[in-house]
Amino acid sequence: MASEKTHVRTTLNGEATEYLCETNQSLLEVLRDVLLLTGTKEGCNDGNCGACTVNMDGRIVDSCLVLGVEAEGAEILTIEGVATPEGLHPIQQAFLENAALQCGICTPGFIIASKALLEKEPNPSEARIRHWLAGNLCRCTGYDKIVKAVVAAANTIGGKK
C-alpha cells in the first residue's frame, strides 16, 4: 500500500535534485521510475550484475541495493552525467571505438565503474581491470573488448594515445 513519502535532496549529475520516494523504493527505482533516468539499467535487482552501478559520493554502488531515502545529501553520478556538451567522455568513446558493447544493456554500468577506476588508478593492469569490473556482468561480449576499451581509455586520458 502507498506509504508516506519522504522528501529527499541530492546532487544528481551535478545538479541539485529533489524527489519524493517511498521508504521501500531503491535508489534504482527512484532513478528509473520516479526521475525517469533510465540510463541506469536493472539486470537483477539483487546486487549481482552491476547493470545498475552509479557513483555515490565517490564510490561505486549497486543502486538496487541502496534505498532512495539513503541518497539524502549524497552526490550521485549516473550514466546521463558522464558526457558533456563538448562530447563523449574518453571512456564512452573508447567503448565505441573498441566495439565493447553488443546489446549495450551492461554498458552504462561498466562505464560508471571504469570511470571510478581510472580516476583512482590511471594505469591499471589487465588483471586489475578484470578484478575491479568483476561485479559487472556482460553476457554478450565475453569481456575481451571491454578490457581493451578500458585500457584504450586509460591511454587516451593519460595522453598516450
Partner 1 sequence: MTTSDKKKYKVIGTTPIRHDGADKVTGRAVYGIDFHTTGMLWGKILRSPHAHAKIKSIDATKALALPGVHAVVTGKDMAVARDIEVEAGETSLNYMHLSDNVMARDKALYKGHAVAAVAADTQHIAEEALGLIEVDYEVLTPVLNGREGMKSDAPLIHPDQTTKIMAFRFDPGTDSGEKSNIAGKSQLKLGDIDAGFKEADFIVEREYTTSWVHQGYIEAQNATAHWNNDDNITVWNSSQGTFNQRQLMAEILKHPVSQIKMVPMEIGGGFGGKIPVYLEIPAAMLSKKTGHPVKMTMTRTEVFEGTGPASAAQMKAKVGATKDGRITAAYAELVFEAGAFPGSAVGAGAQGMFTTYNIENVLIDGYDVVVNKPKSAAYRSPGTPQACFPAEAVIDELAELVGMDPLDFRMKNAAKEGDRRADGVQHPEMGNLECMEALKASDHYKSDLGGPNRGRGVASGYWGNAGMPASCSIAINADGTVSLAEGSPDIGGSRTSIAMMCAEAFGIAAEDVHPSIKDTDSIGYQGLTAGSSTTLRNGWAVFEVTNQAIELIKARAARLWETEPENVDFADGVFFSKAEKELKLTFKEMTGKLMETGGPISVAASVAPRGAGPSFTTHMVDVEVDPETGKVEILRYTAAQDVGTMIHPDYVEGQVQGGAVQGIGWALNEEYFFSDKGAMLNASYLDYRVPTMLDLPMIDTILVEHANPDHPFGVRGVAEISVVPPLGALANAIYAAVGVRMRDLPMAPHKIVKALQEKNGKTK
Interface residues toward partner 1, by CB under 8 A: 1-2, 22, 24-25, 29, 32-33, 36-49, 51, 78-80, 82-83, 88, 92, 95-99, 101-108, 111, 129-131, 133-147
State which of residues 31, 66, 101, 153 lies at the interface with ligand FES (CB under 6 A): 101
CB of 52 closer than 8 Å to CB of 63: yes
Cell 545538479 belongs to: 15
How many of the chain's residues bind ligand FES (CB under 6 A)?
A: 22
- Interaction of residue 142 with ligand FES, rule CB under 6 A: no
- Cα–chain-centroid distance for residue 123? 20
C-alpha cell at 63: 543502486
| CA–CA gap between residue 83 and residue 39 (Å, rounded) | 12
| Nearest distance in Å: CB 122, partner 1 | 20
Residue 83 contact, options partner 1, ligand FES, none, Cβ 5-8 Å cut-off depending on partner type: partner 1
* Listed residue (35, 36, 31, 34) closest to 55, CA to CA: 31
- Cβ neighbours for 113, distance < 8 A, ≥ 6 positions apart: 50, 53, 60, 132, 133, 135, 136
CB 52, min distance to ligand FES, A:
3
Q: Which stretch binds ligand FES (CB under 6 A): 15-23, 49-57, 66-74, 85-93?
A: 49-57
Whole-number minimum distance, CB 154 to ligand FES, in Å?
20
> What are the angstrom distances between the C-alpha of 26 and each of 115, 120, 149?
23, 27, 31
Q: Which residues bind ligand FES (CB under 6 A)?
A: 42-45, 47-52, 62, 64, 101-106, 138-141
